[in-house]
Amino acid sequence: MASLGDIGVSAAINILTAFTFLVIFAIVRLQPFADRVYFPKWYLKGQRSSPVKKFVNLDFRSYLRFLNWMPAALKMPEPELIDHAGLDSVVYLRIYWLGLKIFVPITFLAFAILVPVNWTNNTLERSNVNFSDIDKLSISNIPMGSPRFWTHVVMAYVFTFWTCYVLHKEYELVASMRLRFLASEQRRPDQFTVLVRNVPPDADESVSELVEHFFLVNHPEHYLTHQVVYDANTVATLVEEKKKTQNWLGYSELKYSRNQSKRPKRKTGFLGCCGEKVDSINFYSAEIDKLSKEIEAEREKVRNNPKSIMPAAFVSFKTRWAAAVCAQTQQTINPTMWMTEWAPEPRDIYWHNLAIPFVSLTIRRLIIAVAFFFLTFFFIIPIALVQSLANIEGIEKAVPFLKPVIEMPAIKAVIQGFLPGIALKIFLIFLPTILMLMSKIEGFISISALERRAAAKYYIFILVNVFLGSIITGTAFQQLDNFLHQSANDIIKTIGVSIPMKATFFITFTMVDGWAGVAGEILRLKPLIIFLLKDFFLVKTEKDRKEAMNPGSLGFNTGEPQIQIYFLLGLVYAAVTPILLPFIIVFFGLAYVVFRHQIINVYNQEYESGAAFWPDVHGRVIAALIISQLLLMGLLSTKAAAQSTPFLFVLTVLTICFYMFCKNRFESAFVRYPLQEAMMKDTLERTKESNFSLKGYLQNAYIHPVFKGGDDDDESYEICEEWDEESVVPTKRQSRRNTPLPSKHSGSSTPSLSEANL
Amino acid sequence: MASLGDIGVSAAINILTAFTFLVIFAIVRLQPFADRVYFPKWYLKGQRSSPVKKFVNLDFRSYLRFLNWMPAALKMPEPELIDHAGLDSVVYLRIYWLGLKIFVPITFLAFAILVPVNWTNNTLERSNVNFSDIDKLSISNIPMGSPRFWTHVVMAYVFTFWTCYVLHKEYELVASMRLRFLASEQRRPDQFTVLVRNVPPDADESVSELVEHFFLVNHPEHYLTHQVVYDANTVATLVEEKKKTQNWLGYSELKYSRNQSKRPKRKTGFLGCCGEKVDSINFYSAEIDKLSKEIEAEREKVRNNPKSIMPAAFVSFKTRWAAAVCAQTQQTINPTMWMTEWAPEPRDIYWHNLAIPFVSLTIRRLIIAVAFFFLTFFFIIPIALVQSLANIEGIEKAVPFLKPVIEMPAIKAVIQGFLPGIALKIFLIFLPTILMLMSKIEGFISISALERRAAAKYYIFILVNVFLGSIITGTAFQQLDNFLHQSANDIIKTIGVSIPMKATFFITFTMVDGWAGVAGEILRLKPLIIFLLKDFFLVKTEKDRKEAMNPGSLGFNTGEPQIQIYFLLGLVYAAVTPILLPFIIVFFGLAYVVFRHQIINVYNQEYESGAAFWPDVHGRVIAALIISQLLLMGLLSTKAAAQSTPFLFVLTVLTICFYMFCKNRFESAFVRYPLQEAMMKDTLERTKESNFSLKGYLQNAYIHPVFKGGDDDDESYEICEEWDEESVVPTKRQSRRNTPLPSKHSGSSTPSLSEANL
C-alpha cells in the first residue's frame, strides 16, 4: 500500500501534467490560427470573425494574462448563459456544482470528526500487517467491535441527510428552471405538436386522410393540421454521398488553384486506386450532377409512393392546451394504436426510428436488454480471445515470412507490451458508440432520449466493470458467478472489506482519469489537428472554414456517467477513508471551470431538451448513496459491529423513500406539460397577437431535413438555418445582434475577441 | 409419506364432508324459514317476496330434485348475469373458469407424458428410502442426471406457453368485456366527474370558489359544476348510533307486542347494567329524538363551518370527453396540487380518506409498508408470547384460585389442546380485517381500491406463511434469516428439493381447505343463524326483515388470494408431481358452480368497478408461473441436471417479457378512459337526448351519504335507494321489472321461486 509520500509524488506528477495542459492551452488559444478551434461557438453565432491573417500571436503582453480565461469563464451569469448555450448546458454544469455543494461540507465534517476518531487508535501499529499513513486515517485503524464505529454510523446519517437535502434543493431548482425556461420560450412548433405513432392500416384511406379524420372527430375544436412522416432514409444516404463528393471537388479545386500548372487527376476505379485516370474536377462535377439528379428522382418517388409514408404523423393543434391534452391522454381502446406523445423539437428528432411498430419495440428492447447484459458481464471473453491470437506466436504462425522482423528485440518488446492491451483499448474507445447503437436499435425517436438511454447503459457498465471490477479483482463474469453462489450478506461483506484497501488506487484514478482528463478536454488536441489539416487541404471560402470547425457538443451519453463515478467514490469513501474527498473536490472544481469555459466558447448545442436528463442524474446520485450505505453495512459487520446493521438498513429505507418522494413531487415536471401553464401561454398569446397565422407557421415545421429547400442542398441548409433561428433557439439573440453594443455581462467573449485581434 | 391408499381414505372423508354440506344445503334451502338466507339477492331486487307462512317445507316431491340448483346455477347466460350481478361478479367467476382452462389440458398432458416417464424407473425401489406410490409417479423416481429430465424441461415450456396463451386470451376478453360494459352503460355520474384533491389553501377564496375559478379558467368550455367534500365523520358516527338505538327500540316494541302484559324495562347506566330502571320504549324513543336533533345540529355545523370543507372536490364536466381529459392530465406545475383522477362511482367512495394531504400519503405508505413487512415475517413472535402465557402453568400463576378446576383431567386436556392454537386462530380470523385497516390507513379513496390493495397484501402473506412456510418448515422469520445468509442459488435449491416431498400435504390441504371450504361457503351457516336470531328478536315489518338479511358480498380481498394459492400449487406441481392436478381441478370446478350459485342468489353487489381487479389477478398467475420455473430450476440442479438451468432461465425471461407485453397492451384499458370512446358516447347522447339537463342530474350525485334526504334518515335511505336504481346500476333492470314475464333464461330464479312457494 502506498504511503502518504507516494500519494504526494503521484499527486505532484498529475498536478504537473494537468498544469502543463492548461499552460499549453492558455498559450495556444491566443494564436490566431487556433482561434476557430477554441472559440467556435462565437463564430457559429456570428459574433466573431476570422482575425487578421497572422499565424502566430506575437504580442507578448497578452501572454501575461494567459490564465484570465478562468475568471472570464466564471463571469457570465446564469440567465445569460441559458440564452447563450441553452438550458441543457447550464443544468449540465450544475451537476459539477452539485458535486461541490455535496462534498465540500462533507469533507470539512469528515476531517473534523472522522479523521481524529480514526487516527487516535493504534490497531494497525499493534497488528503485524503492513500499513501506511493513509490507512491510519481510515476506518481500518479502529479495533474490532469498538464503540467508535457508532461515529461512522452517525456520520453516514449526517452525510446522507446532507446529500438528500442538497439533492432536493437542486431538483426543486432545476424543475423551476425548466418550467421558467419553457414558460419564457417564444412560440415553438413542438409546443403545438404531438407525434402520433402506430396509425392503424386502413384499406380505404391513406394515412394522411386517416389522421385528419381521426383528429377532426376526436379533437374537433382543436385540430389544426398534420404532417405525415416519409421513409426518406435512401434520400438521406444520397445527400450524404453528395456532400462527400463536394468535399473532394473542393479539395481538387483548391489543389488546382495553388498549382495552376497541373490539373489534379484521379483514377475512376475502386477507391481511386485503379482504372483509367481522369481529370478530378470534371469527374467530381459530373458525379455531383448525377447525384443531384438521383436525389431529385428519389425525392419524387418518396413523395408519390404511398408505401413510403410511414404510419406516423405530426399532428398540430390550435392551442398549446389542446396539444397538452392530446399528448397526455389515451386515444383509443387499444393503447398500442394511435399512440400520442409530445413531439420533440425538430432538430432533436431521430428520423430513422419513427416508424417502428409497437410489437417490434417490445422485442427490440428485450433483445437489447439481453445483449447489454452479456456485453457488461462477458465483454472480456472476446477480448481475451483476440488477445490470445494477437501474441507473438500467433502472428508468427499466421504470417511466417514476418518472423525475422518480429524477432527483432525492439519490435518484439513493442508487440509484447502493446498488443495485449490494444484490443481492450479499442473496445473501450468504441464502447459509447456501441451503447448508442444499442439505444438506437431500441427505437427511441429523439436524440436527447437516445443520449439519456446510452448514458444509463454506460453508467451500469462503469459501475460493474470499473468500480466493482477494481474492488473485487476479477472479471465481471467471475463476479456474477460469485454473486449467484454467495448470500446477499456475503456479497456485501466481500465488497465492503475490500473498500478501505482500494483507497489509494481510487485516489490515483481520480488524479489520472479526472484531473488530467479534464485538463486534456480543454486543450482539444484532436479537433485542433483536424481543423488545421482541413484548413490547409479543403478550405476555400469562409463557409468552408465554418464547416471545418468541429465545435463538438457536451456528449451527455459519455460525460455524465463519468461524473457519476466520482459521486459514487466520494459517497462510498466519505465514511471510510475521508482522505479521498479533497481529490474529488479538486476534480469537481476544475471540471466546473473547464466545462463552463467550453460551453461558453466551444460546444455547439445540438438540441434543447430543457434539462430533461435531470431525473436520471438525481436517480444515479441516490443509487450511489444506497451503494455507499450497503457497503458500509458490509464493512462494519466484518468489524464485529454488526449491531449497527439495522440502523444503516433504516437509513437505506429512508433514502429509498426520499427517492420516491422526489419522483412523485418533481418528475412530472420533466415528463408532462401542465394544462394551467399551457392555458396561460395560450391566453397571453391570443391577446398579444390575435391575427397570427399559426397554420402557416406550423405547416412545414416537421419536414424531414432532406425535403427542405427543394433542389439545392445549399439552399436547404440555409433555410434550415434561418428556420432554426426564427423559431427553435430562443429569446434575446436577435435583439442582441441588432444592438451593436455587447451585452453588459459578456465579459468572457469580448476580451478574448479583442485579444485575438491585437 | 402417505401412500395412494392413505390419500384415498383422506379423499373419501373430505368428499363425504363436502357432500354432507351440499346435501344439508340442498335440503335447508327448500325450507321457507331459510329462504331469505339463500335467496337474498332476489329479495333485494324485489323479484321475490316472503313465502306463505310455513316454517318447514313438507312437499317431499321438491326434495327429489334437491341437487338441481347446480344446473340451474350454470344455466343463466353471461350477459344476463352481468345485468343481474354486475361485471365484477362475472369476471370474478372467470378466475375459477381460468383455472379450469389452464389445468384441464395440463392435467391430461401431464398424465399422458410425465406420469409414464416418471413411473418407468426404479430409482426409489433400488434406494433404501421409504417411498409411496405417489412418489413413484413424481419426479423423485427419476435417477440422478438422467436424460429423462429433459421431458420435464420441455413440459415446463409447454405448460408455460399454454398458461400464457390462456392468460392472454382471457386478458383480451376481460378487457373487451370491460370496455363493452362501460360503453353499454347508461349515463352515470362518474363518467362526467373527476375527483380533485389537494386544492391549495387560499386566503381570499373559499375552496368552492377556488375550484370553480380554477376550472373555469383552465377548462373554460367544459366545466359544468362541482361539489365540495365535507368532513362529516362525526355526523356519520351519530347516524350509526341512531340506527343502533332504532334497532333496540324495535326489539323492545316487538317484545311488548308479544307480551302486552309487561312493558320492557332497562337500566340507564353503563351498557344497561346499572342505574335506575326505565321503560325501554320511552327511553329509546327519547334517545332517538335526542340523536336526531344532534345530527341535525351537527349537519348544520358542518355545512356552515368553512373548516369542515376539505381541500377536495368532485368536479363535473359537460362531456365525458372533457372529464376524460381532465382525469388524465396534469393541471399545474406542482403535480401534488390539484391532483385529478376519475371519481369512483358514488357508492364505491370511501369518504373517510378523501382529505389526506399528499405528503402524509407518502409517509403513510412508508409506515404501512414497514408494518406489513413485520406483520408478514414476525407475526409469529407476539403469538408465541401469548401462547407461552396461555399455558396451564401461566393460568395457574395468574389466577391461583382456579387451580383445582384447571387440574381436572378433562378441562386440562381441552386447555392443553386448544389454548396454544387459539391465539393463532384468532389472529388468522382477524388478519383480513387487519390488512384492510392497513390499506385504509394508506389512504385509498374507493372501496374497490381498498379491497384490491388488501388482496395484494393477503396474497403475499399467504405466499410467505402458507406456501413457503409449509415447504421449508420453520417460521417466516427463520426463512428470512436463511434467505439473507444463503446464496440465491441455495435458496432456490432448498425450496426446490422439498417440493416433491410436500405433495401429499398439499393434496390434503386442497381437500380440507379447498373442497370443504367451498362446500361450507354455500351452506352459509353463520348468516343462517344470525338471520334466524334477528328474525325472532328484531323483525316487525317487511322492511326490518329486508334489513335483517345479510346477503354478504364476494369479498375480493379474502377470496382472490385464496384462489391464487391453488394456481400456485397447480403450476408448481404440474411438472413435479402431476397427481396433485386432479384435486386442483375438482376445487376449481366445485368452486365455480358454488360461487355462480351464490352470485346469482345470494351476494349483494357493493360496488361496480368494472373488473378493475383483473390486472392483479393476471399478475399473480404470472408470479406463480415464475415461482414454479425457479423451483423446478432448483430441483433439477440438485438432481445433477444443472445443464437444464439456462433453458429454464430463458423461459423465465420469456415469461417476464410476456407479462410486460400484456401490461403495455391491456392494462390501460383498466386505468384510463380513451378519448375516442368518450367522444362516441357524447355524440350519441347529444343526438338522442339533446335537451337533457345534465347539471340537474349531477348536482347532488356526490353528496356525503349522511347529507342525503335532509332530516329523516329513513327518507334519506329511500332516496339513496331510488337514486341507486335510477342511475348507478345499469340497463335492463327497469324494463324487466315492468314486463310481467320472467326473462327467457332466468331458469335458476323462477323454479326456485315456485319451489319455495309450494
CB contact under 8 A, B331 and A179: no
Q: Is the pLDDT of residue B558 over 90?
A: no
Pairing mode, if any, of strands B265-267 and B223-230?
A: unpaired
Could you state, in order of their start, the residue ranges of all structural domains in chain B? 4-187+459-672, 189-344+673-702, 358-442
A505 or B395, which is more confident?
A505
Mean pLDDT score across all residues of chain A: 78
Task: Please list, in sequence order, all residues whose beta carbon lies within 8 angstroms of the beta carbon of residue A338, skipping any fewer than 6 positions away.
Answer: A196, A198, A199, A200, A214, A331, A332, B676
Question: Taking CB atoms and an 8 Å cutoff, what residues of chain B touch A669?
Answer: 333, 335
> pLDDT tens digit string along A258-286?
777 777 777 666 666 666 777 777 888 88
CB contact under 8 A, B221 and A221: yes
The pLDDT assigned to B618 comes to 95
With a threshold of 0.90, tell me whether the complex ipTM lies above it. no
Reported residue count of chain A is: 758
Question: A347 and B676 in contact (C-beta within 8 Å)?
Answer: no
> pLDDT tens digit string along A119-148?
887 776 666 666 667 777 788 778 887 888
CB contact under 8 A, A324 and B329: yes
| Cα–Cα distance list, A714 to A69, A539, A549, B485, B634 (Å) | 36, 16, 18, 68, 66
Q: How many CB atoms lie within 10 A of CB B597?
A: 22
The pLDDT assigned to A4 comes to 67
CA B617, B619, B620: angle at the middle one, nearest 5? Answer: 65
User: Cβ-count burial of B510 within 10 angstroms (0-12 exposed, 13-18 middle, 19+ buried)?
Assistant: buried
A388 or B18, which is more confident?
B18
In the predicted model, what is the mean pLDDT of residues B226-236?
82
Look up residue A343 and give its three cell numbers: 413531439
When computed from its CA atoms, the radius of gyration of chain A, rounded to whole angstroms, is 29
In the predicted model, what is the mean pLDDT of residues A698-712?
69
Q: Is the pLDDT of residue B504 over 70?
A: yes
Look up residue B582 and give its three cell numbers: 386432479
Nearest one of A584, A586, A576, A571 to A501, comparing CA atoms: A576
Query: Among partner residues A335, A668, A679, which is closest to B665 by beta-carbon distance?
Result: A335
Residue B473, by phi and psi: left (phi above 0), alpha (psi -120 to 50) or beta?
Answer: beta
CB contact under 8 A, A335 and B672: yes
Distance of alpha carbon A751 from alpha carbon A86, whole angstroms: 22
**Which of A374, A486, A487, A671 is the best substitution to test chain B (most B C-beta atoms within 10 A)?**
A487
Task: Please list, in sequence order, all residues whose beta carbon lies within 8 angstroms of the beta carbon of residue A413, skipping any fewer than 6 positions away.
Answer: none
Q: Which long-range contacts (CB under 8 A, 24 or more apart) does B62-65 make?
A: B62/B30, B62/B755, B62/B758, B63/B27, B63/B30, B65/B755
Look up residue B160 and give its three cell numbers: 408455460
Q: Residue A61 is which amino acid?
A: R
The pLDDT assigned to A218 comes to 86
> pLDDT tens digit string along A143-160?
887 888 888 999 999 999
CA A425 to chain centre: 20
Distance of alpha carbon B709 from alpha carbon A754, whole angstroms: 84
Query: Among partner residues A328, A331, A675, which is closest to B674 by beta-carbon distance?
Result: A331
Strands (E), A423-492: none
Q: Is the pLDDT of residue B262 over 90?
A: no
- Check the CA dihedral B163-B166-B168-B173 and report its sign: negative
**Which of B221, B483, B676, B686 is the best substitution to test chain A (most A C-beta atoms within 10 A)?**
B676
Nearest one of A249, A342, A348, A233 to A290, comparing CA atoms: A249
Q: Is the pLDDT of residue A473 over 70?
A: no
Beta bridge partners of B267: B277
Instruction: Using a pLDDT cut of 90, give the percent of chain B over it.
Output: 14
In the predicted model, what is the mean pLDDT of residues A453-472?
87
Question: Taking CB atoms and an 8 Å cutoff, what residues of chain A touch B661?
Answer: 362
**Which of A675, A677, A686 is the best substitution to test chain B (most B C-beta atoms within 10 A)?**
A675
The pLDDT assigned to B418 comes to 63
Question: B658 and B164 in contact (C-beta within 8 Å)?
Answer: yes
B630 or B335, which is more confident?
B630
- Residue listed under C-alpha cell 385464496: B562
The pLDDT assigned to B102 comes to 94
The pLDDT assigned to A740 comes to 37
CB contact under 8 A, B332 and A221: no
CB contact under 8 A, A328 and B333: no
The pLDDT assigned to A272 comes to 61
The pLDDT assigned to A356 comes to 73
Across the beta sheet with B223-230, the strand order is B223-230, B309-317, B193-197, B339-342
Q: Is the pLDDT of residue B457 over 90?
A: yes
Look up residue B366 and give its three cell numbers: 412508508
Q: pTM of the entire structure? A: 0.78
Question: B225 and B242 in contact (C-beta within 8 Å)?
Answer: no
User: Cβ-count burial of A571 within 10 angstroms (0-12 exposed, 13-18 middle, 19+ buried)?
Assistant: buried
Question: In chain B, which residue's Cα lies nearest the Cα of A681?
Answer: B218
Q: Is the pLDDT of residue A585 over 60?
A: yes
Task: Please list, in sequence order, all residues whose beta carbon lies within 8 angstroms of the beta carbon of residue A598, skipping any fewer than 6 positions away.
Answer: A521, A522
3-state secondary structure A71-127: HHHHHCCHHHHHHHHHHHHHHHHHHHHHHHHHHHHHHHHHHHHHHHHHHCCCHHHHC
- Check the CA dihedral A22-A27-A30-A36 and report its sign: negative
Q: Is the pLDDT of residue A514 over 50?
A: yes
Distance of alpha carbon A90 from alpha carbon A88, whole angstroms: 6
> pLDDT tens digit string along A320-361?
888 888 888 888 877 778 888 888 888 888 888 876 776 788
Mean pLDDT score across all residues of chain B: 78
Distance of alpha carbon A560 from alpha carbon A554, whole angstroms: 9
Question: A43 and A36 in contact (C-beta within 8 Å)?
Answer: yes
Distance from CA of B227 to the nearest CA of A (A): 21
CA A709 to chain centre: 31
Instruction: Assign A390 to helix, strand or coil.
Output: coil
Question: A538 and A254 in contact (C-beta within 8 Å)?
Answer: yes
| Cα–Cα distance list, B665 to A179, A360, B177, B658 (Å) | 32, 13, 15, 10
Residue A676, phi then psi, degrees to nearest 5: -60, -45
Hey, which of A636-645, B93-102, B299-308 has the most confident mean pLDDT?
B93-102
Of the candidate ranges B258-272, B680-694, B723-737, the one whose mean pLDDT is the lowest: B723-737
CB contact under 8 A, B362 and A489: no
Question: A502 and A580 in contact (C-beta within 8 Å)?
Answer: no
The pLDDT assigned to A628 comes to 93
Residue B224, phi then psi, degrees to nearest 5: -115, -65
Look up residue B324 and give its three cell numbers: 376524460
Look up residue B92 and give its three cell numbers: 370474478
What is the DSSP annotation of A627-688?
Answer: HHHHHHHHHHHHTT-GGGHHHHHHHHHHHHHHHHHHHHHHTHHHH---HHHHHHHHHHHHHH
The pLDDT assigned to A277 comes to 74
Q: Is the pLDDT of residue B385 over 90?
A: no
What pLDDT band is residue B201 in, cutting at 50, 70 and 90? confident
Look up residue B465 and give its three cell numbers: 406463511
Q: Residue B316 is which amino acid?
A: S
**Residue A197 host element (H or E):** strand A193-197
